[in-house]
A and B are shown apart, each in its own frame.
Chain A
Amino acid sequence: MKTINRKILRNLWGMKGQVIAIALVIASGVATFIMSISTMQSLKLTQATFYKDYCFAEVFASLKRAPESLRLRIQKIPGIDRIETRVFAAVNIDIPGFPDPATGHIISIPDSGEALLNRLYLRQGRLPEPSREDEVVIGEPFAEAHDFKPGDKIGAVINSRRKSLTIVGIALSPEHIYQMPPGAVFPDFERYGVMWMGRAPLGTAYDLDDAFNNITLTTSPGANINDIIDRLDKLLKPYGGLGAYGRRDQLSHRYLSEEFRQLEQMATIFPVIFLGVATFLLSVVIGRLINLQREEVAVLKAFGYRKLDIGLHFVKLVLSIVLAGVILGIAGGFWLGKWMGTIYMEFYRFPFLKYELHPYVAVIAALVSAMAAILGTMHSLRKAALLPPAQAMRPEPPATYRETLPERLGLKRLLSQPTRMIVRHIGRRPVQSLLSVSGIAFACAIMMVGSFQGDAIDYMVDVQFGLSQREDLTVTFVEPTSRKALYNLKSIEGIEHGEVFRTVPVRLRSGHRSYRTAIQGLESGGDLQRLLNAELKTVALPPSGIALTDHLGDMLGVRAGDMLTVEVLEGSRPVFNVLVAALVSQYIGVSAYMDMSALNRLMREGNAISGVYLAADSQYLQEIFKKLKGIPHIAGTEIREKAIKKFYETMGETILIFTFINTFLAGIIAFGVVYNNARIALSERSRELASLRVLGFTRAEISYILLGELGILTLAAVPLGFLIGRGMCDYIAENLKTDLFRVPLILEANTYAFAATVVLVAACVSGLIVRRRLDHLDLIGVLKTKE
């Protein structure tokens, strides 16, 4: 090895604490980048593979009933590749030993041969025998939640008839990678399951022999999907078509796409912060190092080392630190990515996860880190390279200090001598002090981003289910029913209150914008479903016209007072215009609300109801469930509280893991900034401090002079961190806004407190490490050596 390179190794070793601190910050940035990108790419690849190998459909539609012969006409739509007609039905599931009502969907699979589309990946067991009407394959998450194995039996209410079904297989489907009960907010693997059954027996059960009520298809390359959807819609309309849609609107696919967006965001925001902080640290540390080595550089130049040699020398030094960080970061990111993958597999059910880190991702991370580092230290590197050697041999003039603003304002007398030294030292390097403050502030901000999601979810749930949707149970009927059903339910012991509702699937249209949703017809004066205004105050349901979730209003480009076209997607599919009466606030999902009687008037169908919201005494829940299971035409019962609880249980662990990672990362930044600051301050001022010791200052006093400055910077950083953190959370919230959910910018006091605590603890730890060095300050040695 060339001697000049050996110098690099020795220099690195000499400041190993700082090198480690900076390398860790770089590693954190690289790791978050690698983790997010690799997880996203792996998920995308897995998704694409699963979609392709198991023939995930591109267009989906449900309808009431159409003869199988309609298929031939559909086939004629240009651009269609494969078509699969199916029977698709909602079922109530009865699980032995599990009292809660569970619902699900049962989907037909062809009796012979492989399915053309949405094929099943069998995890265990086999497909149902074509002739058997009691055999089903069930989805993996549902099976896991109840520990089902092939051979187990479950009960199901199929078309109002109770049936005992034997589980013969456990499977995954590209159509149900993310399994959510329709209209629900959270996945609930215990109370919602997807099942598959042979086409013939399922068709018989639903009077759909030689007919279908669901169709999926793929298109040939280059086909115009929107055109196909339109044409399919027209063909299905007479058969009770509920509107066809593409993958974009397919629930499982949508959730996955949202997840990818979040990962993408994470892959930019976090690495940018970390690299920014690392760049700043490098610029300060390398700047200081080069200042200390002025004379060494001058000697090397005196002996004929060229500008380029000197520049490259320090570039190598910088890059060694970056390299350490990058290697650590890649390893860490790889490990975290694999781990993230397994966490995702809890929610997103793929048959396998091909976790892959593309080398080019690592290369990009390395190049970007290296470039940031070089840019950050460019000023110092140039200075070293261009250093005039003759001048560098002369000792540097003493640093210039000035009286600072507070002193000039006459506060001088109030400040003790050591305090004045602190204030002047900060004032001497305003830019560096400011950057230190920003660095620490970012640590605080990262902490807040970590906790923010938890706070926001709590708040969303509180608002949605505390203020707005206050029912304990929702009972949905198989078909619109008369109001009488309400009285049957109300007579069950423990039911305190009930309010009916009518759900009408619609496509809302304004100009060229449209959105598929359902209008919720609510009882006027109802108490279980409340509409909230922007201040989250309850507002009355407008007697006529429609109320839209504010986000839906934005999506459609309408405001209160505008007119909106409603295309009903069921029955005779009437089309009418309504007035947008109000925009209401809602964080989860988007919806349209109307007074039920107004809705029924428009639908011209009297007092039909789709279901009932119930308030129940929780003591009686078990009995209520039992009774409900006995009522035949109930399509499903949803229990909010249990679903939320279950969700929190699953999410709790994930949130904890992310909080831990964030705390760790923020700790690294805080430590990196504070520790480096302290070390540099120590190196710059050890002579001064040693002189003070010789003059009789105590250890405590000189510690105060050095660490007091860091204390002030850290304290100044915390409020700034709060501001930055809020801004970052706001940015994230704004970017995550979708019709699935809008994360409100909610930050609880304990989030602020926790963030500040982590930063202060990191600062104290760094302070203590430096303090130990201060205690061992070599008084004579320091004074003897020439700086």
Chain B
Amino acid sequence: MSGGGGKGIESLKSYISVADFEARAIDLLPKAVRDYYQSGADDESTVARNKSAFRKYLIRPRVLVDVQNLDTKVKISFNPRESYTFEYPLGIAPTAFHRMAHPQGELATSMAASQTNTLMICSTLSTTKLEDVAQAASINAYLWFQLYVYRDRRITENLVSRAIASGYQALVLTVDAPMMGRRRADERNGFELPGHLKMENFDVELLARTFKGKEGASGFGEYVKNMFDLTLNWDDLRWLVEYSKIPVIVKGIVRGCDAIKALEAGARGIIVSNHGGRQIESTVSTIEALPEVVEAVNGRCSVFVDGGIRSGSDIFKCIALGADMVFIGRPIIYGLSVGGVEGVKHVIQILRTEFEYAMRLSGISSIHQLRTVPRMVVHQNYYSSSKL
């Protein structure tokens, strides 16, 4: 049931784009696994729009700028005492069940993240215990922990305490999933975790009670239905901010007003996200939603974005439009499927290289320039306004 075995470094040389990894991963993964990772909700219009919307934004390159020395570093500050500097504005988004993609699962992802100094957001729905993921990371690795607020508060408290004890530097609260979106392929497949894998962050008894594949519904969906909380509201975020000693980042916001509410509730960062197009269908793409949230936040906290990023120029556009950092989800799964640790490292390296190309060929030599030079990236409508 697991994905392709680890490939040697040499054979990954022919993979020169994220698309190459995606194509190979699709070949390697069993259908139900592939469907789980690739699916969007319902008609899948949002998962498609996340990618296609990038094409509507155009880079306006500057010429004859000295681009020999590139500064791609970003600094994320949670408060005056707590800030982190990353070599590139690119991180690993939380995605579930890495051991379905590769036998080493989240351990491989964590090692790849450490070896490239890449921030990794570890998913609650990990097939590896959060303690073990931290253990596999280097001592100064960047690790955040993604969680949901469960119906049973004690589960959340337990996860938070353990994450803090294991050195995770921030929590990422997912707020776009009071219930799981409908992924039709999962329903048709009656998707459930392969028998040899478990959601390792939770105790076995709890799992036995709630997680069971049923015909016509996905087993995972049943589990989630019982754990998640439809009543989840802003008080719960306030509670979590209070309870947690580490900063809380909110993931899954697309409205400016919600970003403001999150700030007022004590969030230290916002991830503009639509859950990879897997939750509400027919919603706005994250690149389209980004400027509204950036404007609403107005510098009061970091703004991140995920969803549909597949190339360095996608990253370039997100940063130009105001994101501090970009997270990638499925591409990491694809790298993992194809080549384990080396596959993930390769995907990250491809994106970093493409990002550097985008910077140099646009006449931009630093992140600061990218975010302050006017109109580096515009919506294509810029070129068809009524004066023409």
Q: Do A and B come from one complex?
A: no
